[in-house]
Structure formats: C-alpha cells, structure tokens
Structure 1
Amino acid sequence: MAEKEISQLPGNVDKTCQEHPDRKQHAGLHNPGGYSDALSVDIGSSDDEVFSMSEVDPVLDAKMRLVNRTMDEIGWTNLHLKLFFLNGFGYAADSLILALQAVTSSQAALEFQPSFSYGLNVAVYTGMLLGVLFWGLGADVIGRRFAFNISLFSSSIFAIVAGASPSWIVLATFVALAAFGAGGNLVLDTTVFLEYLPSNKQWLITLMACWWGLAYVIVAAFCWPIFSNSRYTCSDIATCTKENNMGWRYIWYGNGVLVFICSILRVTIIRLKETPKYLLTKGDDAAVVKTFQYMAQKYNRPCHLSLEELESCGTIQSTYGKSRYSLGEFWAHIRGLFVTRKLAISTLMIWFSWLLIGLAYPLFYVFLPDYLASRGAHTGQAGAYYQWRNYMLSSVAGIFGPVAAGYMCNIKMLGRKYTMAIGALITMAFFFAYTAVRTPAQNVGLSCAISFSLNIYYGTLYAYTPESLPSAHRATGNGLAVAFNRIMGLVSSFVAAYGNTATSVPIYVCAVLYIVMAIVAVSFPFEPYGKRAM
C-alpha cells in the first residue's frame, strides 16, 4: 500500500506495509486481466473498495487491499473459467432440487395419497433453510474448500435415493436431505468465485445466476418426454401404483446422477485450494502468498506479493472468536457483519430484501392459478405436451434475465442498485398484467416476461449480497440472507394449504412488495460497481 495511504490508517499499521517496489514497474507491462492502468499507479484509496475496514481493523484493511491488488495483477485465468462453469452448476443445484420437488410432487402424491399434499414443499424449504445456515455459518469456520467439495456430493446422493422412496414420509425426508446439500451451494459457489475474481470481472457473479434458469431447462428436458408418455405416469388415484407411475422416479434418478457427475468434476478438474481471502482472515499469510505464487506460476502471470510484505502490516485481530469451534466463533462472525453503522444498515437491508422476494415470488404463484380460474381465464392448452412446452419456454427466458443484468450492472449510471430496482419494477408491472390473462398465448408470453425480468432482480441480488459483505464473515451473512428467503418459502406452503386462493388481495400485496424491493435497492448504502469486494 502506498505510504501516503498507510499514514491515514488508524491504529498501529507498520508503514513498511506497502506495495512491492516492482509491482508498479511490472503491472503496466503485463496486463492479462485487462485491469485499469490506474491500479498500477496507486494500490488504492478507500474509494477503490466497496467499503473500508480501516476503522475496525487497519491491519486487515491494509492486507486485504494488498490481496485485492495481487488478484488484479494476476488477472483472469483458466481457473476462473473453470470456476464459472463448475461453480455455476453447483449454483444451479439449488434451483434444480426446488424444481424437481415442484414438478414431481403431484405424481408422487397420486401414488402415496398423503394427508398433507404440501409436505414435499415444506420438506424442500426446511432442508434449504437448514442447509444455508449449516454450510453458510460453517464455511466461515471450517473453510470454503471442505464445504464446497462435500455439499454438492451429498445433495446428489440423496436426490438419487429419493427416487427409490417407498412412502411419502421417506420421500419428504430424502428431498429435505438433498435440499440441505443444495442449499449450501447457493452460498458457497458465489462466495468462492468472488474470492478468486479480479475486480474488473466481479460482474460475472451476476451473470452466474443464468445457471439458476438453466436448471429449470434441464428439469423440463427430463420431464417433457417422460410425463408426455402415459407409460410412465398415472392419472387416477384408485389405479396408481409404483409400476405404472415410474416417471417421477426416473426424473429424480436422472437429475441426481447429473448432479453427482458434476460434483466429481468439481473435485477432479478444479482441485480447489482454500480461497486467499479466507486464509488471510484466519491469519495464514504464508498460505496466501503460496496460493498466489502457485496461480502465477501455473498461468504465467506476474505476482509480486511477498510474505514479508504481508507480515509487515501486523497481525489481524478482528475476525476471531475465543475458540474456533465454539458458539463464540459463530457469534464473532455474526457480530462482524455489524462492526460499523453503515455495514450494519447494509446487512439488515440485504436480509430484508431476501425476505421480501422470498415472500412475494411464491405467494404470487400460490394464489395466481385459482385467482385466474375464478375469473374465467383459460391459461393453457390441454395435454402434457403443451404444459411442458410452456414450462420449457419460460425456463429458457429465465436464463437471459441474468445475462441482461450482467450487462446492466456494469453500466456506471445503473450499477448494481438501479439494476435491481429496474428488475423489481418491471416484474411488478408484468405481475399486474398477468392478472388480465385470458388466453394460452397471453399466459405463455407473460410467463416468459416475468421469468426474464424477475431474474434481473434475483440475479443482481445474488451478486450484490456477497460483494457487500466482509470476506471474513461473507458466508455467514450470505447464508443468513438466503435463510430468510427459505423461511418465507415455508410460510407460502401453509398459506397455500389454508388460505383463500380466489381473493385478489395477495396480488396487490405482491405488487407492493416489489415496489418496496425497488426502494430498498436504491437505498443500499454501498454500490459495488467499479470497486473491489473486501
């Protein structure tokens, strides 16, 4: 870090904690990552980062800036490309399990005749909730690498076993266990990817949400031929047996195997090392330098960070509990999300946003079918072919929402905050328009439009959350954010079971929720555009 900046930091940061003398000379000569030339001149002021930790721990702040500059110096590599694809599929596993539960529950219910038909919905959201809490909080304690390698593998095994379930209770149990592993991926994949990215590629976290929509396309590709064939599905409770209703089981088997293959590829192709930022916050400076030097050597990139440079900054004190495996350690990570007033406001607003979208999205789709039917709408053509064709079309449209969001959030005048606001307001408008649907064509068109616009908001929120949280506590904050979302998913299950689905009130409640989401988005205290995540 430049001498002029170290002098501005509070505390006892050694002024020898500064940029390597060769860094400026070499950064301008070799620029494979395409980072700004300005970075080679000045290793940073507080305006270069999303937020500053100098008031809380000036040593951590100084070291994190050095790590960020080193990632920019190394730039984009094939490792990042691998992470985008293989992390992306792990990211998709979350929506894959949710979709599998949604599309197979009715056929499984015909076979098992449960007393509570929304049991699988409760099971999947309960598993997701426990998963994001366990893997999210755990990843800040045991590290990203172990959780990253295990969570997707466990999800795949239970998804395969779910297809062999002999009863509704057993099926719900394995669905919950599959969701437990998948829920952790949603937190870990964005966290791991972000903590390896050079700053000018952070917008790819938003684009990675396209994998969310791709998962629905994969599920539709399995369901369309299977559920369109009467040999694999039954339609009458009285005659429905395992033998004439194997379709939903094949779908669980096939998708479970696909997730299993990807979990093996993640371990064998990436061979992930612990992220440098996690190692830094745990005080292992030597491992940080070793990781960067390995990357630089493997991809023929410059790396001038030295152990002496990091150690000269001092010792980090702000990221530990009294004991690593204790409630105090978990509390330290939660407390770390509120160490400054601005960070505390940001954390609460992020959690509130996840709660709002977790309530608005499922609530709308719980009430909409009966609401439309009560007003004489004919939203679909008869037959499985048309049903799954429409599902495929809306799923494909959902892939392009994050693509648009990735472009929009990288425009200076929009950034992350206004991209989210635009996505929320457009979705609200399409939701209102949907209440006027009366024909199959209108239904398909507006379903695709909503899938597209909603993923603009969702995809940007997925990226904004880890970008705006401190690295030492990122997985904890991210996990708790998604947990609020899953709690609302549970609420929607019971609303669907016991609420009056023909009333128009929930439609307007959802509209108000999207307006609030837009207001919250533009009010976020941090804008990550053009800045480095800490």
Structure 2
Amino acid sequence: MSRTDPGAPRTISQRLDALPFTRKHGKILTGSGIGWALDAMDVGLISFILAALTQHWGITKGEGGLIASVGFAGMAIGATLGGLLADRIGRRQVFALTLLVYGLATGASALVGGIALLLVLRFFVGLGLGAELPVASTYVSEFAPARIRGRLIVILEAFWAVGWTASAIIGYFVVPASEDGWRWAFAIGAIPALYALAVRWGLPESPRWLASRGRTAEAEQVVASFEAQLESRVAGAGSATTADPAAPRAAEPASAEPNVADLAAPQPALARRAGGRVAALWSTEFRKRTVSIWLVWFCVNFAYYGAFIWIPSILVDAGFSLVRSFGFTLIITLAQLPGYAVAAWLIERWGRRLTLSIFLIGSAGSAIVFGTVHTEAAIVASGMALSFFNLGAWGALYAVTPEIYPTSLRATGAGWAAGVGRIASIIAPLLVPILLVAGGAGLTFTVFAIFFIVAAAATWGLVDRRGKALDDR
C-alpha cells in the first residue's frame, strides 16, 4: 500500500519526516553535539600539546607526528568497528561505549612520563573518538525531518567548532602556563566525558534502526513520544488541529512530505551480518557512491589534519613565540563557526553536492594563500578563510554521508568512509615534516590544495537527497 492512499497507515519514516523541530530533537542534537565537541577538543588539544612537548621534552617533529598519527590510527579502527557495531547493536549503546573509552584514556594521558605510554593511550583515545562521529551523524540524521535534515547535521558538525575553540582557549591559557600545563589540558578534556556519558544514556534509540531490526513496538513508542510532545504543545496553544497523530500538521510546509513512495511495512534489511554489510557497500547500486565518498573523506582528512595539527608548530618555526602562535591559532579557529552557519543555510538551498564542492574549492584557494604569505595580518586572514571554508565543507560532508546509504547499511557506510579518511589523517602528520623540509609551507599547503580540489571533483559521484526521505531498507 503506498503513501498516496489516504487510508494507508503512515510508516515510522513518514511520521518522523512529518514532525516539526521539537524539544526532543533539540535534546538529541545537543546530547550528540557534546560528544562531537569533545572529539574536536581532544584533536585540537594535541596540536598545542605537541608544540609544548617539543619545548619541555625536546621531542622531534618525527616523534610529534607519530603521537598525532597513532591517535588517528585508533580513530580509523574505531570508525570502521563503530559503524558495524551501531548497525548491529544500536546507535545509543555505541555512543556510551565510545565516550567511556575516550574518557578513561584521556584522563590517564595526563599522568604519563614518557612517549611510549602516551602513544598507547593516544591509540585508545582515538579508538573511542573514531567511532563517535559517524555514529552520531547517523543517529541524528535518522531522527531529523527530511526538509531540515541536512541543516541539522551541519549544526551538529558546528559543535566541532565549539570543541576546537575550547581547545584553543585551553591551549592559550593552560598549556603554556607551566611545564605541566599540557597535563592539566588532558585532565580538563576527560572531565566533560562523564557528563556526556550521562546525557547519552538519556537519549532514545533510533526508531528507524529499531524498525529495521523488527523491534516495531519499541520504534512506535519512541515516535509516539515525539508526537505526544507536539500534541501537548499544540494543546497548550489552544489548538485541536493535531489531536490525531496521523493527521497532517497544520503548520507543516508541503515540502515536508517525502517525495519518494514508502511502503506501509518496513522494508527488509539489505544485509544482517557484518561481512555482508561491508560487501553491500560495493554492490552495483552503491559502488559509485562508495568510491566517491571514500575519496572525499580521504582527501579532506589529509588536507585538514595535515594543516591544522601543525599550524601552531609551523608558526613557532616561523619565529613567533609559543603564546603568540597559540593566540593566532585561537583567532583562526573562531572563523569555523561562521563557516558552519553559512553551510547550514546553503545546504538546504543549493543541495549537498554543490555546497560541499564550493566550500572545498574555497579551502583550496585559502590553503595556497596561507602557504605563501608572511605578514601577521595575511597569516591570520588566510588562516581564517581556510577555517571558514574547510569547516563548512566538513559540515556538508557529514550531512551527505549517512544519506547515501539505507538504514541497514547507514552506520556501516558512514563508519567505513570515516575510517578510510582516518588513514589519510595518519599519513598527513607524518608527511608534513618531510614536506616542510623539502619546500617549506608553500609546498606543504599547495599539496593540501590539490587534495581539496580532488575532493571537490569526487563530490559529483554522490547522490543528493535534499528534502527526500531516507532509504529505510
């Protein structure tokens, strides 16, 4: 029975897409965003900590690159395993597990006395954080109404700027304050993980995932709780027009209805076993989009982490003091928030592919300029432009990734794309010292620009589901 039959029962997907943004959506967005900010804060802090350890421990750039890369190695494994687990046991359980691993390993990092133990703990930090991001974007996308889904994912990604800004503030005020400032930075990074863990356990499981696993009654209960909150709000406003949860919402724009036909019963999952889900990513239907999304993730990770992990150290090498270089990095970081804001507005107007490709091209141009300028004003301005365009691109990338796969493959597809990207984030910090020796910042950031351009071209192999219902197979 098709949704065009007025007597047909509405599916879980249709009911979720028909909802306006509610307080429950806000709670899901905020709870997931806190974990996202923690991820950014940890990754951002390591760039300041590397600069500090270079002075206090006398580590080489090669050792610093290894410390950064081992965390990304953990993130690569975490992303692939986290996606598989989230499709198997649920989104919420994986959230809690990732934050627990992250919190314990980050806290223990504050106590290390040498590089060897720090490398081990950084791997486990990465393992927890790597599973966090693809699962979080999948989770939020499965609750978001179709007409604003892309915008909500970009807003979720904007929590990255909050976390990175927090890391820049900690890096500026705490890390240089004493020889043990970097230890206090790690300790501060572990504390919010406990709060985020409590928040996550208060969130509902994804009803789309529950329905795909045959747990229809639980999925119905979750969706009904959203509808009940809406009805209570409408009743409080003195309206009786939405007393029936099956009735259309009076304030709902026509575009809220999915523009694809859904079946009244949940469609069968494409694959149940982990190996089958990975193989399904390479089926005829999904092969082109899998190649494209993996290429985008690889190139964006290489350029982003290669640049931003090393910017504080590059500025120190250019002759700026530790505190001054950290101050420049803080200013550059603040440009991330407007980048997300513009991307969130454009993604529902221009669509996913055009928005993503434009921001990637802007990132390429900014990288070339940043690598060639020498005055303070030009460094800060081009760095802010790089922050603006690159983080706007990240927002669009996280919006499009979970949309290109059906529910039974969504977290697996997003997790493997992120995992492939993390391979690039392992390579980039190790390669940057070599590039700097070979051709300085000019060559290094030109290489980053090339990767951004390749990513921009690859976006056109993706599908754009702006305003469309998610595929619930």
Q: Helix, strand or coil for the counterpart of 2:363?
A: helix
CA contact (8 A) 1:94 1:179 kept: no
CA contact (8 A) 2:44 2:164 kept: yes
Q: Helix, strand or coil for the counterpart of 1:82?
A: helix
Distance 1:80 1:379 in 2: 46
CA contact (8 A) 2:161 2:336 kept: yes
More helix by share: 2
1:255 alignment counterpart: 189
Deviations 1:269-322 (A, max 9, x none): xx22221111122122232222222332344275339xxxxxx9667544343x
CA contact (8 A) 2:84 2:411 kept: yes
Cα RMSD for the two superposed structures: 2.7
1:272 alignment counterpart: 203
Structure 1 gaps, min length 5: 6-17, 24-65, 233-244, 306-311, 322-328
| Corresponding letter in the other structure for 2:107 | I
2:358 alignment counterpart: 422
With normalisation by structure 1, the TM-score equals: 0.76
1:513 alignment counterpart: 451
Please give the residue correspondences for 1:197-236 in structure 2 after superposition, counting only pairs within 5 Å. 197-202=144-149, 203-229=151-177, 232=178
How far 1:156 moved relative to its partner? 1.6
1:433 pairs with 347, 369, 374, which one?
Answer: 369
2:301 alignment counterpart: 358
Q: Is the counterpart of residue 527 in structure 1 residue 470 in structure 2?
A: no
Q: Is the counterpart of residue 464 in structure 1 residue 400 in structure 2?
A: yes
CA 1:317–1:209: 2 relative to 1, 3 Å: closer
How far 1:354 moved relative to its partner? 0.5
Q: Is the counterpart of residue 151 in structure 1 residue 151 in structure 2?
A: no
CA 1:379–1:408: 2 relative to 1, 3 Å: farther
Return the index of the structure with the highest Cα Rg: 1
Distance 1:70 1:277 in 2: 11
1:164 pairs with 89, 103, 111, which one?
Answer: 111
Q: Is the counterpart of residue 71 in structure 1 residue 13 in structure 2?
A: no
CA contact (8 A) 1:281 1:319 kept: no
1:85 alignment counterpart: 30
2:274 alignment counterpart: 330
Please give the residue correspondences for 1:344-383 in structure 2 after superposition, counting only pairs within 5 Å. 344-364=287-307, 381-382=320-321
| Corresponding letter in the other structure for 1:330 | A
Distance 2:109 2:152 in 1: 33
Deviations 1:130-174 (A, max 9, x none): 211221111111111211222123212211111111221112211
Percent identity between the aligned chains?
21
Distance 2:422 2:108 in 1: 23
| Corresponding letter in the other structure for 2:430 | F
Deviations 1:396-426 (A, max 9, x none): 1112211110111111xx2111111110111
Q: Is the counterpart of residue 475 in structure 1 residue 418 in structure 2?
A: no
Distance 2:171 2:64 in 1: 21
2:212 alignment counterpart: 281
1:400 alignment counterpart: 338
Aligned residues: 440
CA 1:435–1:500: 2 relative to 1, 3 Å: closer
1:141 alignment counterpart: 88
| Corresponding letter in the other structure for 2:385 | A
CA 1:77–1:184: 2 relative to 1, 3 Å: same
CA 1:20–1:297: 2 relative to 1, 3 Å: farther
CA contact (8 A) 1:125 1:489 kept: yes
Deviations 1:230-256 (A, max 9, x none): xx1xxxxxxxxxxxx210000110121
| Corresponding letter in the other structure for 1:149 | A
How far 1:512 moved relative to its partner? 2.7
1:96 alignment counterpart: 41
How far 1:222 moved relative to its partner? 1.5
Of the structure 1 ranges 178-187 and 329-338, higher mean CA displacement relative to structure 2 is found in: 329-338
| Corresponding letter in the other structure for 2:346 | M
How far 1:81 moved relative to its partner? 0.4
Q: Is the counterpart of residue 122 in structure 1 residue 69 in structure 2?
A: yes
CA contact (8 A) 1:210 1:400 kept: no
Q: Helix, strand or coil for the counterpart of 1:208?
A: helix
Of the structure 1 ranges 89-98 and 451-460, higher mean CA displacement relative to structure 2 is found in: 89-98
Q: Helix, strand or coil for the counterpart of 2:143?
A: coil
1:185 alignment counterpart: 132
Q: Helix, strand or coil for the counterpart of 2:174?
A: helix
2:258 alignment counterpart: none
How far 1:369 moved relative to its partner? 9.0
CA 1:150–1:371: 2 relative to 1, 3 Å: closer
CA 1:133–1:122: 2 relative to 1, 3 Å: same
How far 1:379 moved relative to its partner? 5.8
With normalisation by structure 2, the TM-score equals: 0.85
1:455 alignment counterpart: 391
Higher relative contact order (CA closer than 8 Å, sequence separation 6+): 2
1:304 pairs with 208, 221, 246, which one?
Answer: 246
Q: Is the counterpart of residue 294 in structure 1 residue 225 in structure 2?
A: yes
